Structure 1
């Protein structure tokens, strides 16, 4: 491989034959498959002028570039996951060449095998819950209060109402999570998204990810519908490849899902 080229890695699977065909990868690059010791890595050959360390530092601040790259990455991972159990790799994971990918498959062979066994026959679902604003109680201005004092009273009452709404919604969200954990194999709560990312004005009180057996997917979706209530608006998204439950940490251990 030329020194000005690198290997962009998407996912690792078991070596079970052909890949997803002519799906396009990042920057429109073809997707290739590298088989090694019973595992298969899906990758594209990319230019280091765009995906090298220095270039990536600049590109990661370009939201349009980042969005397009993430979309292409996700497209490849989903195409692979439709065929077999898949361990997605983090966005913009780039190696110097195929030899380095083989080293990865050697060094973390047992961890990849464990991850793939855990996610086989399962998909990731996301559940997001948002606090539903309640109706603010009217505030009666005290007789003789100045306009400024009356305004402050109304302001304090509005803040108390919003805080009470949030507490009720958070309690309901915990109950939603517990109910879904009765069906999911494992689940975890991610950090709540900012409204600019979620696209909703309401405050997010649950950003859950759940690994669910394929045969229980309909049951899980029905449970999400059943647990939605007056306090929260619940949104079901997915299914996806198991991004939240298939990653390896920096020490090479399989990351475990949890309900924390």
Structure 2
């Protein structure tokens, strides 16, 4: 019975030769991580027992044992980050498993040139994530008091008869909500437009819900930037200025990184 292969990612063969892989425990917590040659690359893998880590066994664990899932997800994350600190890395998603080394090679070989090109493109670059949150009440009050659109509507309503005025005033709250969403999006797009000038590539992701973030504020922006390392310092200075500039409007800019090229390696 062949052992399963857990795949963490790919590194350049020349980097692996110059800097041999340090001792790290694999996904099962017992065996060690090692590399498998794939053209000019090395696949960073560990072996798994097919009985313990079969597709059915993994499905049962992920559905019924949240503690196990958290531990294994942390293991994967820490291993990826350790590899990223040492090598140019194409990171793979959590629980990327092959039935054998032969199946791994069958998958990699048709994509070899594309993967080698991807390693060259991500070398010397870092991925950074910006999440923007907004305390709506603070910005909503500013819009209610200062928005020309809201002001014009209030003036229009003030000239109506008392009966019609009562019903039209109910629409003010909806108008303020609309203007709030527009203002938040305009501010976030402006910040993103200025920050992506420092990046070789950038992308906007879906916002997370409060259940996912665990925060009381709404997330109103979620973007990823791919930066050449010499540009990182200027990017961080600009981000700090933006954070200070919009704090009074109720915005919180949360920047994390550097991360491996999860979004810009160009591979699935």
Give the alignment's TM-score, normalised by structure 1: 0.82
Instruction: Give the drift of 1:131.
Output: 2.4
- Residues 1:38 and 1:135: Cα distance change in structure 2 (over 3 Å): closer
Asked whether the equivalents of residues 4 and 100 of structure 2 are also in contact (C-alpha less than 8 Å), the reply is yes
- Residues 1:28 and 1:19: Cα distance change in structure 2 (over 3 Å): farther
Indicate the structure with greater helix content. 2
1:184 aligns with 2:199: yes
Name the CA distance, whole Å, in 2 between partners of 1:247 and 1:74.
Answer: 20
Asked whether the equivalents of residues 4 and 49 of structure 2 are also in contact (C-alpha less than 8 Å), the reply is yes
- 2:120 aligned to 117, 120, 133, which one? 117
2:94 partner SS: strand
Q: 23-32 or 189-198, which moves further after superposition?
A: 23-32
Asked whether the equivalents of residues 40 and 116 of structure 2 are also in contact (C-alpha less than 8 Å), the reply is no
1:170 aligns with 2:172: no
Match of 1:242 in 2: 261
- Residues 1:237 and 1:36: Cα distance change in structure 2 (over 3 Å): same
Instruction: Give the drift of 1:189.
Output: 0.9
Query: Once the two structures are superposed, what CA deviation does each residue of 1:157-214 show, in whole Å capped at 9, x if it has no partner?
Result: 5454344222211111111111111001101111111111122122212111111111
Compute the RMSD of aligned alpha carbons. 2.8
Name the CA distance, whole Å, in 1 between partners of 2:175 and 2:25.
Answer: 52
Instruction: Give the drift of 1:57.
Output: 2.5
Name the CA distance, whole Å, in 2 between partners of 1:107 and 1:191.
Answer: 32
Gaps of 5+ in 2: 146-153, 155-161
Name the CA distance, whole Å, in 2 between partners of 1:119 and 1:11.
Answer: 14
1:244 partner SS: coil
Asked whether the equivalents of residues 176 and 227 of structure 1 are also in contact (C-alpha less than 8 Å), the reply is yes
Asked whether the equivalents of residues 89 and 261 of structure 2 are also in contact (C-alpha less than 8 Å), the reply is yes
- 1:95 aligned to 95, 98, 104, which one? 98
Name the CA distance, whole Å, in 2 between partners of 1:87 and 1:155.
Answer: 54
Instruction: Give the drift of 1:19.
Output: 4.2
Q: What is the total number of aligned residue pairs between the two structures?
A: 243
Name the CA distance, whole Å, in 1 between partners of 2:21 and 2:12.
Answer: 14
Name the CA distance, whole Å, in 1 between partners of 2:55 and 2:35.
Answer: 24
- Residues 1:49 and 1:175: Cα distance change in structure 2 (over 3 Å): farther
